Amino acid sequence: MFYHSTRNKALKVTSAEAIAQGISADGGLFVPESIPEMTAEDFENLKGLSYAERAARIFKLYLTDFTDEELRECTKNAYESGSFETPAVQEIAELADGSMLLELWHGPTCAFKDMALQILPHFLTRSIKKTGIDREVVILTATSGDTGKAALAGFQDVPGTKIMVFYPEDGVSSMQKRQMQTQEGENVRVCAVKGNFDDCQNGVKAIFTDPAMQEALAANGMQFSSANSINWGRLVPQIVYYVSAYVTMLEKGILENGQRFCVTVPTGNFGNILAAWYAKQMGVPIQHLVCASNINNVLTDFIRTGVYDRSRTFHATVSPSMDILISSNLERLLYHMTGEDDAQIREWFGALKTEGRYQISIELRNRIQAEFSGSFWDDAQTKETIGKVFAENGYLSDTHTAVGIAAARDYQAKASEKYPMLIASTANPYKFGAAVLEAIGGTADGADEYAVLDLLQAKSGMKIPAALADLKTKTVRFTEVTAQDQMDAYVREKLGIQ
Ligand SMILES: *Cc1c(COP(=O)(O)O)cnc(C)c1O
């Protein structure tokens, strides 16, 4: 299996090259030349296997230049080394209304990003070796909160790698900030940026694609790669959990063989929901995908109108990991859905850069609407949903997951035909403790992030995850703040290059 760039179909690279490079030099994203299909028998064969074993089998379909042993080693390191608190890695919880929550946050940083970022370092170091380049990998990451910590945890002290994370100074929760500032490891750096997530992301992209910077790196035996969901090595592990969830639902008798179900995903960058779409293309019987957003509702508008317009006010919300106005992974969906029309992708994404908007045809918009619906929910509705779900089920959901639950309920209420609903649950509620506490009738007034943990435990009865409780005793290591136009200088200084 080879990979093309969404902006140059003629480009053909192996999966190792795609993962090592992160983003194509033409600015496009790497996409598989075809999407592998799985049969009922293939799903049947995954029954009874551990998550790590299932993952290795599914990776084999996409990462064909890796050996079975290599893939099994990677999945063992990621999912069977004790970093996930439940042996099943992912869990499925059922609510009283029959909908199911796919809990993806049992990893070391309490957010779904661990599902991919615990394995990406293993893919990446092997990919670098395979491509025959003996260079140190420098991971540059822009984060709206959760990616940063999960990437830091995944890459911490991985030989042959360095990682630098940039986050918006006022755009992450205090717990997320704490998690990053206290990160341990000799190869890690964390820096706040004056601006929002998109400023961080644009800063990182500019550094990434700057030929002078790339030359300086190469002269020092280094090369950049990305841990953002633009990297194929980040996206393919996300496909795995939708396939695995289907198999688990078959095992548990929640679904019958081939029974269709819907999936709702709280999303910002369109990464997690795109992974579900790939799973659908592979043969997982997904009827419809619901794209749930907060009031940064650029995706809802896009799905409804076919116009992607980033020129709008950026809102900081209680679901900060979805405070995003540029949904990078939409480029992959549009590439596949236009029949791999790379010229069209260049035009649209060129327009997005220069004019802040692009418009697809009505015909394509209709095809997208046949597969996706979108809705958005403000902070008051998000908190109301957390409160309702807690009152009805005794189940505590985080702010992002609550956006998903609100969207799923709205979709189900309006749908003419009902299908079982699986909702991606993307973070442990303690990660966004203050908002969750208020949502269930508590007050976080004046309490610091640790006091909030205790208050939430007393009010909800749910246990504080050890990974967050332990932060209190850790030293704050990284407090630097930089302007967006100084990120370049920061990177050069910390890498010791001119
Ligand atoms: C990153 C994140 C999201 C959004 O994920 P996408 O990659 O934008 O789809 C949702 N919820 C949480 C908790 C996250 O950390």
pLDDT value of residue 464 = 95
Determine which residue's CA is closest to atom 1 belonging to ligand 1: 321
Distance, C-alpha 472 to centroid of its chain:
26
Could you tell me if the CB of 146 is within 6 A of ligand 1? yes
3-state secondary structure of 171: coil
Q: Ligand 1: distance of its center to the CA of 216 in Å?
A: 33
Indicate whether residue 404 lines ligand 1 (CB < 6 A).
Answer: no
Residue nearest to atom 15 of ligand 1 (CA): 146
Question: What mean pLDDT do residues 302-309 have?
Answer: 98
Listed in sequence order, the residues at least 6 apart from 43 whose beta carbon sits closer than 8 Å to its beta carbon are 243, 246, 247, 250, 257, 283, 284
Residues recorded for the chain: 498
At 159, list the tokens. Answer: 């030989």
> 305: part of which helix (H) or strand (E)?
helix 298-305
Round to whole Å and give the CA distance between 134 and 290.
Answer: 43
The answer, yes or no, to whether any atom of ligand 1 lies below 6 A from the CB of 400, is: yes
Interatomic CA distance for residues 258 and 312, integer angstroms: 42
* Cβ of 427 less than 6 Å from ligand 1: yes
List CB contacts of 132: < 8 A, sequence separation 6 or more.
Answer: none
Residue 21's pLDDT is 86
Read off the pTM. Answer: 0.94
Per-residue confidence at 171, pLDDT binned at 50, 70, 90? confident
Q: Is the pLDDT of residue 270 over 90?
A: yes
**Model confidence pLDDT, tens digit, residues 99-111:** 999 999 999 999 9
- Answer whether 271 contacts ligand 1 (Cβ < 6 A): yes
Look at residues 401, 408, 376 and name the one whose alpha carbon lies nearest to residue 386.
Answer: 401
Query: Who contacts 453 (Cβ-Cβ below 8 Å, separation ≥6)?
Result: 430, 433, 464, 468, 469
Q: How far apart are CA 85 and CA 440, in angstroms?
A: 25
Nearest C-alpha neighbor of 6 from the set 311, 237, 230, 287: 230
Distance 40 CA to ligand 1 centre (A): 30
Amino acid identity, residue 320? P
pLDDT at 220: 95
Q: Is the pLDDT of residue 2 over 90?
A: yes
Q: How far apart are CA 214 and CA 155, in angstroms?
A: 21
Asked if residue 86 lies in contact with residue 109, where contact means CB atoms within 8 angstroms, the answer is no
Q: Which of 113, 149, 177, 280 is catalytic?
A: 113
Contact predicate 299/325, CB 8 Å: no
Query: What average pLDDT score do residues 155-176 get?
Result: 91
Contact 399, 241 (CB under 8 A): no
Q: How confident is the model at residue 347 (pLDDT cuts 50, 70, 90)?
A: very high
Whether 272 lines ligand 1, by a CB cut-off of 6 Å, is yes
Contact 135, 125 (CB under 8 A): no
Verify whether residue 113 is a known catalytic residue. Answer: yes
Atom of ligand 1 nearest to the CA of 144: 1
